[in-house]
Amino acid sequence: MSFSKCCIQGFSWQGTPTGRTGQLSNNDVYITGDNADVAILFIADLFGWTFPNVRLLADHYAREVGATVFVPDFFGGEVLDFDLVAAEKFDQIDLPGFIGRNGREQREPEIFDCARALKQDLGYKKVGAVGYCYGGWASFRLGAKEHASAPLVDCIAVGHPSLLTKKDIDEVAVPVQMLAPEIDQAYPVELKLHTFETLQRLGVPFDYQHFPGVVHACFIRGDENKPGERAAMERGKNAVVGWFRQLLKDA
């Protein structure tokens, strides 16, 4: 599934992130939280690791799960101009070029390296991955059965994924939480049904949550001034927090 304009629409939230920047593997990274045993790898949407909404959400996860959250730069320093998006000047955004430079094949190795570093180099005992839009396919790949002998992550949470394939879903081997907006060109009904049916067949623990009346990007770039979108944002955040507390802290 390719990207569409829905992947770069949305709103910027108020607030000041409280974390710090550093390095993870060979990538710049935003780090928030101080738990030495439990980590969350947050794979951002197309606006990347510097987008305030992503960092604010990472801060929530760190506080409410009780984990250290890492948000790496997986776009080689590139940043989409949110001001152009806010002004709806989509013709001035080279989305195909951006995706061409930051596609699955280009970025998967470093995503794996960052996840591997959390356990092997930094000594975290439990690691979860959360991904929105672009980060959705990557989270499934981190939880794939090919890593069964040395799991990169212990569970994943995914919201409104892009570039996700049926093969990604077929090969997942860790517990999965899926947050699915009703209206989503990047995650259509056919793929939603495949997700639900396949996770049951695979027998992995899963939590599939349907969000009626909201659209792609609602969990990262929803309008906090719209009651329906704000409710979805809050429900989505709380769902991920509860999932990680259960799978990473209480297991």
Using an 8 Å Cβ cutoff, are 238 and 230 in contact? no
pLDDT digits (tens, 9 = 90+) for 51-101: 999 999 999 999 999 999 999 999 999 988 878 776 667 788 888 898 899
Give the chain's radius of gyration (CA, Å): 17
Rounded CA-CA distance 74/182 in Å is 28
Question: Nearest CA to 70 among 33, 110, 108?
Answer: 33
Q: Give the confidence band of 222 by pLDDT, cuts at 50, 70, 90.
A: confident
| Residue 1: pLDDT over 70 | no
The total number of structural domains that make up the chain: 1
pLDDT digits (tens, 9 = 90+) for 152-195: 999 999 999 999 999 999 999 999 999 999 999 999 999 999 99
Domain membership of residue 212 as a residue range: 5-249
- Is the pTM higher than 0.85? The answer reads yes
Q: How confident is the model at residue 10, as a pLDDT?
A: 46
Long-range contacts of 115-122 (CB under 8 A, 24+ apart): 115/41, 115/142, 115/152, 115/153, 116/25, 116/152, 117/24, 117/25, 118/24, 118/39, 118/41, 118/70, 119/152, 121/25, 122/39
Q: How confident is the model at residue 224, as a pLDDT?
A: 79
Rounded CA-CA distance 168/146 in Å is 11
**CATH number, domain containing residue 54:** 3.40.50.1820
| Residue 133: pLDDT over 80 | yes
